[in-house]
Chain A
């Protein structure tokens, strides 16, 4: 039996809850409209998640993580509603801990609800936001980050919307992008270095540390100084990193720039926001459970490994496991930085000997080549391409999630 310890992290982000008004026209930002009923599992993503968790005992987590933008444009009702719902997931998913981090929509940077304090609504949330602990709460709002430890996993919660509402330049408003200041990076690295190596490190923030032009051609909303932050935490040599963030409403798992020790980055799509007009057909509402394998000891690995399961929500249907081709797909591995072409050659050599002419289940392939389970989706696609193109393998996908189910060895 697999004795690997795991931390299951439920990830939901960018809920954008709001209250519609009869006179509203145009696009509504989210499926979470507080002026409407909140109990229909096919119409409200939280109600749907409750139904899903009741029916499926695999929908369980140790930590519930919300990466910001609880309400839309700092809507106080939206903030309170989402944070309450997120906290209720703790019991539903049998979790130990609920964590959040602030997004641009959680700060009243346009002073709609207050004429001087952009943080007032989010700081007033009960339970305390982003973590229901007085010391961590104070740290987060004072230093723009706080560090926790859970099950041998170090979790850094970083506020990348810390300066929203406070910058002066009207031509370059702060709220259009994230930021981590030099001072914050320096303090964070100092604390991490003093604490020493850890088997697994998790960085949770709202904004993406790198520019993401995958959907929108011109993306300027990334975290200013994000690359610097990533470089510094890698240079600190205190263990492997997984970064989880929201904001872009577009899912992707990839490796940061730099060496093979660069963090794995998981960009989570929105839990409930409606697609922007330029994202229709490309943006999905998703809920995730990250199954993070906790390395046996600090220094055991340079890349955290695990898998992410994804559920997809559609209005009228509720939550179901995603299919390949939708957002992140039904599941994604991470942590194996094998060269897909070399791995394909190795597999073809080995399987061509032992399974020549046979149909082999993908589970069997994963058991024989464990690295396959930890390939990120783009590497897995490359592996399949190489096996098909250069080694004449055949693949059949299952009919439900369209994942690879069987391999025909030539």
Chain B
């Protein structure tokens, strides 16, 4: 088919990268800081929740994607790529669907072997795809990638086909790579037939090809291919995407492989931040692979929001150019400054952010009028609102630290406690909007797409009301995605969304309803008192992006959740009227205990806290 180039129809769409072609992925790929970490020959595990760009990152290691990539960093990436990538995308056949189809087979060992074989066959197809990519004639013309170009003569092809047929126990109709691929498909079809037969009769014998070890058979294939093409030292990387939906057994076996060190085959996995079986395996003793030693962990979340700014700025610039806007645009000119941006406007104007009539000063003054506890705190700390700007930095420090909470209290505490409107405008402005996205490309694109369109249309700063509207839409979309995740009830906690609600409401009560403190709790620790069931639910919330990990848990061990410091996603901050800030940590068990204690004292407590504020008793 002669494809007529279609304009960037799916560019910066929020589709799952799973459904995009390599050229579609490459067209708009903006590398996050973690990308460079993938470009080495070490084993790597990418940890990230939904939408954090795991699939995109792995796909961007393939020759076909790198060839299409036009970004300014592309030439360096092509030059530095140390391996020929074999990308194994998620496939329902080796994912959870196979898990359910094989569940009815009585013989556990046969079931395990079928799952391994299905994985192996998909890996074989991925290897053949990778070989095909290297035959693209355009590779030879690319300075960085030409070392990966393969010219496979028909004799060479027949030799490779025969070798693969021998180690993979294939029956070839033609001695070619297509013949190999077809034979692999035949084995896959036979395997599915076998599953159906085994469900009826567990005594059915497995064919020879179903006894091969997945990774061994692929490393053998790599060795033999390297020999045939005359490049015995050619390096490869096996990229396994979305391991969280692979059968647990495969996931664990792959995880254990990170301890191996076949020097010419690197493993790159992508994974949810938490998986209970991997946690168990990681804790299982000296044979478990260790982060930083056996593999490099790369976390795609940003515990501290500043970490995501550079990537968000680059992503926004890409979206603007793609929408027909100018290049090299200062994002401030599109989104302006925000309340949580750290007083950047004042710094630019070289005025004190706390001077009388400054925005922050007015906010503090407003809060003084309505919040006796804040007045008390100010006087206790010896801060005179009229002279803060004249104080030295050390003396200003408590006020500076308390500023995010001053902002939310002044916004949401009126003469009547909790003014009823839900204010999203507090969260607008460049860095605040970046923070709302959590540096998650899918959320970011959802959040920014209408704003970019508006910006290109009006050629000027996007009004606060438009930004606020997009933040609200993004919040609702995020919440619906959270509510769609199936989860089991843990005691009084019904679901992931309910757990998030409990934590969000707790922080809200602590930050808005209690007396003013400069450091109310904002983050929580998954402490020892947390039950295994609740831990699992917290893990799922982490995987969904509802919670974000604050500590560098992956380098300390593998993704071990107990003891971790977490916070609520900033995307949800407007929902609970929380500032875009981090602060003191509290035990999760304390938060959950407050729920049950509140219920004991006042059974309606928790329900009331979830009501819109306008409906609350004054």
Contact = CB atoms under 8 A, between A and B. Distances in A.
Interface in B155-171: 157-158, 161
B4 A394 contact: no
Contacts of A28: none
A129 to B, nearest CB: 32
B2 A399 contact: no
A193 B10 CA distance: 58
Interface residues of B, number: 19
A397 B182 contact: yes
B172 A54 contact: no
A406 B161 CA distance: 14
Interface in A340-384: 358-359
Nearest to B179: A396
Contacts of B154: 358-359
A21 interface: no
A408 B179 CA distance: 9
A406 B178 contact: yes
Interface in B1-49: 1-4, 6
Nearest to A398: B178
Given A397-B182, A399-B181, A399-B185, A406 B174 contact: yes
B186 to A, nearest CB: 11
B175 interface: yes
A57 interface: yes
B173 interface: yes
Contact of A359 (B1, B179, B182): B179
A323 B205 CA distance: 34
A235 B179 CA distance: 49
Residue from B1, B3, B154, B185 with most neighbouring chain A CB atoms (10 Å): B1
A92 interface: no
Contacts of B185: 399
A161 interface: no
Contact of A395 (B161, B174, B175): B174
A359 B2 contact: no
A359 B175 contact: yes
Given A397-B182, A399-B181, A399-B182, A359 B176 contact: yes
A359 B158 CA distance: 8
Interface residues of A, number: 18
Nearest to B176: A359
Interface string B513-527: 000000000000000
Interface string B113-155: 0000000000000000000000000000000000000000010
Interface string B312-327: 0000000000000000
Q: Is the interface of A mostly helix, strand, loop or mixed?
A: strand
A394 B3 contact: no
Contacts of B179: 359, 394, 396, 406, 408
Contact of A58 (B1, B161, B178): B1
A397 to B, nearest CB: 7
B182 A396 contact: yes
Contacts of A55: 1, 3-4, 6
A396 B2 CA distance: 24
Interface string A32-52: 000000000000000000000
Nearest to A320: B1
B176 A396 contact: yes
A321 B173 CA distance: 25
A57 B173 contact: no
Interface in B551-609: none
A395 B4 contact: no
B157 A359 contact: yes
Contacts of A398: 178
A405 interface: yes
Contacts of B1: 55-56, 58, 321
Contacts of A358: 154, 158
A398 B4 CA distance: 23
A292 to B, nearest CB: 21
A330 to B, nearest CB: 11
A96 to B, nearest CB: 21
Nearest to B185: A399
A408 B176 CA distance: 9
A57 B174 contact: no
Nearest to B158: A359
A405 B176 CA distance: 11
A67 interface: no
A212 to B, nearest CB: 32
A57 B2 contact: yes
Nearest to B161: A359
A359 B175 CA distance: 6
Nearest to B157: A359
B4 A359 contact: no
B4 A56 contact: yes
B27 to A, nearest CB: 16
A273 interface: no
B172 A56 contact: no
Interface in B174-211: 174-176, 178-179, 181-182, 185
Given A358-B154, A405-B178, A408-B179, A396 B4 contact: no
Contact of B175 (A56, A58, A399, A408): A408
Contacts of B176: 359, 396, 406
A407 interface: yes
A405 B4 CA distance: 25
Contacts of A407: 174
B432 to A, nearest CB: 39
Interface of A: 54-58, 321, 358-359, 394-399, 405-408
21 contacts: A54-B4, A55-B3, A55-B6, A56-B3, A56-B4, A58-B2, A358-B158, A359-B154, A359-B175, A359-B176, A359-B179, A394-B173, A394-B179, A396-B173, A396-B178, A396-B182, A397-B182, A406-B174, A406-B176, A408-B172, A408-B174
Interface of B: 1-4, 6, 154, 157-158, 161, 172-176, 178-179, 181-182, 185
7 A-B pairs closest in CB distance: A408-B174, A394-B173, A396-B174, A406-B174, A57-B2, A359-B176, A359-B174
Given A54-B4, A321-B1, A395-B174, 18 more contacts: A56-B2, A56-B4, A57-B2, A358-B158, A359-B157, A359-B161, A359-B175, A394-B172, A394-B173, A394-B174, A394-B179, A395-B173, A396-B178, A396-B182, A406-B176, A406-B178, A407-B174, A408-B173
